Structure 1
Amino acid sequence: MRRLLASTLLATLLSFPAQAQTKDELVIGITQFPATFHPSIESMLAKTYVLAFAHRPVTAYDPNWQLACLLCETLPTLENGLARQETLPDGKKGMAVTYTLKAGAKWGDGTPVTSDDVAFTWTVGRHPQSGIASAELYRRIPRVEIKDARTFILHLDRVTFDYNAINDLRLLPAHLERPRFEAAPAEYRNRTAYDQDTTNPGLYNGPYRIAQVTQGSHVALEPNPHWTGPKPAFKRVVIRAIENTASLEANLLSGGIDMIAGELGLPLEQSLAFEKRHGARFNVITKPSLTYEHLDLNLGAPALADRRVRQALLLGLDRESLTRQLFEGRQPVAHSLVPPLDWVHADDIAKYPFDPARAGALLDEAGWKPGPGGIRANAAGDKLALELVTTAGNRSRELVSQVLQAQWRKIGVELRLKAEPPRVLFGETVTKRKFPHMAMFAWYSAPESVPRSTLHSDSIPTAGNSWSGQNYTGYANPAMDALLGAIETELDRTKRKALWRQLQVLYAEDLPALPLVFKADSFILPKALKGLVPTGHQDPSPYWVEAWRWE
């Protein structure tokens, strides 16, 4: 292990030698390399971060947590008349929401961004075999009405509180992607130009475009000459993936990179130690965020299908000591999936304090009795042995995994640890539900983001739906399905908050995933870099890269 780490560090330093960076270039370090560059296939944060420089969604939440237009002229609301309720053919209420694309918006090859791109993107998103991760958005839009080249109306099949937040509508260039999709929709995720022709400038409509990709290593971006917004300050942005966090830190100190992105950077405890040693050279910004670190459980595994076992596992963890010792108490223990920073967070729900005795009693009740070596087994002689997979090279997760292993052994649970490169873990293992028992990772969310894609039974990825959806646990509970629908369609904030509380109560009882902590992001920036504002949610800081500059 030590030899491998040393070799990895040496290779990284040799690949990216220390050198003075010109002031028209910015080199950023992150801990993951994207598994795909398609805007809507898979949900890996590394992909989202890279594309934030080059690809603009129609809407996004800004650093003040307010919904804003990025690719549209005016945010439609009921108040300004651009959104209205309408009666659907079946007599139910729906909505008609009108957007106008920004004047002058173009793809990087000079082709205008038009309503035709919207209609094509909707067609892809609606197709059951396209592999789009957020397919639910497209399912609830039965019709797209094209008014002109820039104006379109989305007809929604229901009235929802977040009717104008179409952050997941990430436009695809119809002139490039339509032939690839129409030739074989079921194969589209493997045929998209975003992966087969990634440096094609026509794929990008943001201030930058991807100009070079070295798989597993780095992505280089150059200005989009057809961008009509504020001119970005850098002639070149390089994003380097360094999956080992010790190597990431070493590259920053050696000059191989200029900054470490908070969205995908050093774990909190490592950044706190870094600040104490190098705070005079760098600005270290710690931003509490809507990030939920947890263990997704494969509920198809017989042992984990029993709710008593899931509850016992959580009772067997001393999470308070863990966050105090590793994170100086700056990352609060999670009791559900909704962070305290979100206004719909509920604190009066079931909690699982460290209680090994109660955990043991629940395991006894579930039929798992102490056996040879202290490891529990059921009546058939099967040992309570589980496997935990997480991201390789992440020091924080390595430490947490070892704590889980030691604490669960004390209640008779054997835990095997496995680490995979992020692009494998998120590109295959998690997305296709290949983990046998549990996977440790984090969900980034937006303010009051309804977790339909992770909790609704119709969002379970399968081969039949080309692995669309993010319900990797396989959780299916009609009560949860009903709550998700009720929250989406409740316009009254007070009533909606009460429904959110019911959701969190049910989540804490069922535990489809085991909550660990709510994370904080650590941005490590050179003193001369100005204008970067952390958002604290899933819409990353590079959406506003036009404001970044060297001073």
Structure 2
Amino acid sequence: MRLILLVLALLVGALASPPAARAGGTLTIGLTQYPATLNPNIESMLAKVYVEGMTLRPLTAYDQDWKPVCMVCTELPDLAKGTAQLETTPDGRKGIAVTYSLQPDATWGDGTPVTTDDVKFTWEVGRNPNSGVSNFELYKRIYKLDVLDAKRFTFHLDRVDFDYQSAGDFRLLPAHIERPIFEADPAQYRFRTAFDSDPTNPGLAFGPYKIVSLTPGSEIVLARNPTWWGEKPFFDRVVLRTIENTAALEANLLSGSIDMIAGSLGLSLDQALAFEKRHGDAYRVIYKPRLVYEHLAPNLDNPILADLKVRQALLLGADRETISKQLFAGKQPVADSSVSPLDWIYDPDVEHYPYDPARAGRLLDEAGWHRGPGGIRRNDKGEPLRLSLMTTAGNRSRELVEQVLQAQWKQLGIEVTIKNEPARVFFGQTVTQRAFPGLAMFAWLSSPENVPRTTLYCDQIPTAENHWAGQNVQGYCNKDMDRLIDAIETELDRDKRKALWARLQARYAETLPALPLYWRADPYVLPKWLEGVRPTGHQNPTTLWIENWRRKDG
């Protein structure tokens, strides 16, 4: 009798429970950018990082809780465990040796094991001055590499960095594919990499997915990678569809052409707020404050923008509070520097530039720009105060901000011309090669307590001579800032480091290497049947954990 009752109870329970979702099918994601390159170490376009999250894994990353974790390694190096050891560099400085082990089952999609040969090759590419890698500073400071065996290696770093456990910008290249291309001509490598010439080669991926087809500028199709060592991803295929116009992106979602919109590469905040009011019963909208710094990068080779008083006047003449309230419902707070209020190192006492057009006008007068016929300011030579402003075409939010700034600066006597470009051109050429003549509006993504060496240090200015390596695209050089960056990186005491961060933020506000606009909150528009998507709030994309995404049961 008890057995019969137990069987009946199990049957009732089974009938009452919703059926488990069957794995498979296709997930189609809409985004506003298409990568300028798919090589993981050349350029830093967000669309590329989003794709890489599915096809590759960095050595380490910050997770959704902002903690450093291993991705393709097995354990973070640790001074207490002996996998990190203090040492003296050949030139007598304090350095550190950090040892990593690669995931034992990590394998490229063509069956070739991921080994220290790939580590060694990636390091060689990064240290070659002709390669044009984005973060060449990382490879400079790894002055020596010891290969211990096929899966273990030691980096020797030329300084003791507080963030010594992390190596998120060290992204492996497949030596068996890329080495012949690189060795043939290092200076041409960035243009000939197999990631762009042969992107569907399975040997370029060791993540949960691999690229199986693409239409340049339009679509990338990914399928499960059978050599992936981790949890099997739920979806058979993932399609990334680029729709640069955000209004068209929304229309494609509603028509069913796409299933979701990538948060950091999707709708503007004002569009998402309006969308949620109309369609919140059918979709889930997540607003995630992020370490994403929207700003105006001035080309400091332009003599007008090289004048600090002009940069100060531009910032004082921009009503950023009103922009935040009226365009973004206050969800994207005004930025005062490149350090977010979400980060523990933020200094609330940093100088703030309020909207003050009267003071802005006085600064322009002091800089030698006086109002002339038609209200436009001119210098003593009669040249007009004219600037160009550029951003990504089709991004409704940025284009609205541009129009507001153009109108506000016109009231100051500044003539602003707007010239936007598709994101692939804007990031792939114009920004990277410092080809914007005036101001460029875009965002920097960062990790928690991210030291801005690549964007502010004097030797990080991209030039033709260094093959456009580095991310200091504004051309800023300030030796005091360089010294602060050096001091922060090597200060292990948390309280002392926070004091140094306060000084860096003050210096940033004093010298204005960029004009801060606001901190972004990205809206993720998801179907209600999709679960497992956890926005990180920092530079590492949600796709680094795509194997956790799945269709809800029921």
The interval holding the TM-score normalised by the smaller chain is over 0.9
Equivalent residues in 2 for 1:250-269, closer than 5 Å: 250-269=251-270
Q: How far apart, in 1, do the equivalents of 2:197 and 2:113 lie?
A: 22
Q: How far apart, in 2, do the equivalents of 1:23 and 1:99 lie?
A: 35
Residue 147 of structure 2 corresponds to 146
Amino acid at match of 2:332: Q
| CA deviations over 1:8-56 (Å, ceiling 9, x no partner) | xxxxxxxxxxxxxx96110000110000000010010000001110011
Residue 455 of structure 2 corresponds to 454
Q: How far apart, in 1, do the equivalents of 2:72 and 2:90 lie?
A: 31
Q: How far apart, in 2, do the equivalents of 1:432 and 1:290 lie?
A: 25
Superposed displacement of residue 90, structure 1: 2.1
Q: How far apart, in 2, do the equivalents of 1:507 and 1:347 lie?
A: 14
Q: Is the 8 A contact 1:390 1:397 kept in 2?
A: yes
- Identical amino acids, percent of aligned pairs: 62
Moved more, 496-505 or 75-84: 75-84
Residue 377 of structure 1 corresponds to 378
Query: Does residue 62 of the first structure (1) align with residue 63 of the second (2)?
Result: yes
Residue 386 of structure 1 corresponds to 387
Q: How far apart, in 2, do the equivalents of 1:164 and 1:146 lie?
A: 18
Aligned residues: 530
Q: How far apart, in 1, do the equivalents of 2:191 and 2:319 lie?
A: 43
Residue 4 of structure 2 corresponds to none
Q: Is the 8 A contact 1:86 1:93 kept in 2?
A: yes
Q: Which has the larger radius of gyration?
A: 2
Q: Is the 8 A contact 1:207 1:224 kept in 2?
A: yes
Superposed displacement of residue 87, structure 1: 1.3
| CA deviations over 1:178-220 (Å, ceiling 9, x no partner) | 0000000011001100010010000111010111110111100
Q: Is the 8 A contact 2:392 2:420 kept in 1?
A: yes
Q: How far apart, in 1, do the equivalents of 2:369 and 2:264 lie?
A: 40
Amino acid at match of 2:147: I
Residue 430 of structure 1 corresponds to 431
| CA deviations over 1:150-195 (Å, ceiling 9, x no partner) | 0000000110101121000000000000000000001100110001
Q: How far apart, in 2, do the equivalents of 1:498 and 1:382 lie?
A: 44
Amino acid at match of 1:73: T
Query: Does residue 104 of the first structure (1) align with residue 123 of the second (2)?
Result: no
Equivalent residues in 2 for 1:66-465, closer than 5 Å: 66-465=67-466
| CA deviations over 1:319-360 (Å, ceiling 9, x no partner) | 111100011111100011111101111121211101111000
Q: How far apart, in 2, do the equivalents of 1:452 and 1:530 lie?
A: 37
Residue 484 of structure 2 corresponds to 483
Residue 16 of structure 2 corresponds to none
| CA deviations over 1:46-105 (Å, ceiling 9, x no partner) | 000011100111100000100000101111111222111011222211000000000110
Q: How far apart, in 2, do the equivalents of 1:349 and 1:284 lie?
A: 33
| CA RMSD after TM alignment | 0.8
Q: How far apart, in 1, do the equivalents of 2:300 and 2:316 lie?
A: 18
Superposed displacement of residue 282, structure 1: 0.4
Q: How far apart, in 1, do the equivalents of 2:534 and 2:210 lie?
A: 21
Q: Is the 8 A contact 1:291 1:518 kept in 2?
A: yes
Q: How far apart, in 1, do the equivalents of 2:90 and 2:251 lie?
A: 62
Q: How far apart, in 2, do the equivalents of 1:502 and 1:104 lie?
A: 46
Residue 522 of structure 1 corresponds to 523
Q: How far apart, in 2, do the equivalents of 1:96 and 1:228 lie?
A: 28
Q: Is the 8 A contact 2:144 2:156 kept in 1?
A: yes
Helix, strand or coil at the partner of 2:419: strand
Amino acid at match of 2:429: E
Amino acid at match of 1:394: N
Amino acid at match of 1:324: K
Amino acid at match of 1:341: L
Helix, strand or coil at the partner of 2:263: coil
Residue 19 of structure 1 corresponds to none
Q: How far apart, in 2, do the equivalents of 1:520 and 1:79 lie?
A: 38
Q: Is the 8 A contact 1:32 1:423 kept in 2?
A: yes
Amino acid at match of 1:390: T
Q: Is the 8 A contact 2:24 2:234 kept in 1?
A: no
Q: How far apart, in 2, do the equivalents of 1:441 and 1:248 lie?
A: 20
Q: How far apart, in 2, do the equivalents of 1:148 and 1:23 lie?
A: 38
Q: Is the 8 A contact 2:105 2:113 kept in 1?
A: yes
Q: How far apart, in 1, do the equivalents of 2:337 and 2:24 lie?
A: 45
Residue 538 of structure 2 corresponds to 537
Can you give the 5+ residue segments of structure 1 that lack an aligned partner in the other structure? 1-21
Residue 25 of structure 1 corresponds to 26
Residue 3 of structure 2 corresponds to none
Amino acid at match of 1:97: V
4+ runs deviating over 3 angstroms: none
Amino acid at match of 1:235: D
Compute the TM-score of the two structures, normalised by the length of structure 2: 0.95
Q: Is the 8 A contact 1:267 1:522 kept in 2?
A: yes
Q: How far apart, in 1, do the equivalents of 2:228 and 2:398 lie?
A: 40
Can you give the 5+ residue segments of structure 2 that lack an aligned partner in the other structure? 1-22
Helix, strand or coil at the partner of 1:402: helix
Amino acid at match of 1:396: S
Amino acid at match of 2:137: E
| CA deviations over 1:496-524 (Å, ceiling 9, x no partner) | 11111111101111111110000001100
Q: How far apart, in 2, do the equivalents of 1:518 and 1:63 lie?
A: 18
Q: Is the 8 A contact 2:316 2:355 kept in 1?
A: yes
Residue 42 of structure 1 corresponds to 43
Residue 498 of structure 1 corresponds to 499
Q: Is the 8 A contact 2:24 2:236 kept in 1?
A: no
| CA deviations over 1:200-248 (Å, ceiling 9, x no partner) | 0001110101111101111000111111110001110000110000000
Q: How far apart, in 1, do the equivalents of 2:24 and 2:288 lie?
A: 27
Q: Is the 8 A contact 1:23 1:550 kept in 2?
A: no
Helix, strand or coil at the partner of 1:304: helix
Q: How far apart, in 2, do the equivalents of 1:474 and 1:87 lie?
A: 33
Q: How far apart, in 2, do the equivalents of 1:496 and 1:442 lie?
A: 25
| CA deviations over 1:257-293 (Å, ceiling 9, x no partner) | 0000112111111101100110000000000000000
Helix, strand or coil at the partner of 1:181: helix
Compute the TM-score of the two structures, normalised by the length of structure 1: 0.96
Amino acid at match of 2:393: A
Q: Is the 8 A contact 1:230 1:546 kept in 2?
A: yes
Q: How far apart, in 2, do the equivalents of 1:464 and 1:408 lie?
A: 36
Amino acid at match of 1:29: G
Helix, strand or coil at the partner of 2:420: strand
Q: How far apart, in 2, do the equivalents of 1:272 and 1:330 lie?
A: 10
Amino acid at match of 1:504: Q
Residue 4 of structure 1 corresponds to none
Q: How far apart, in 2, do the equivalents of 1:342 and 1:97 lie?
A: 26
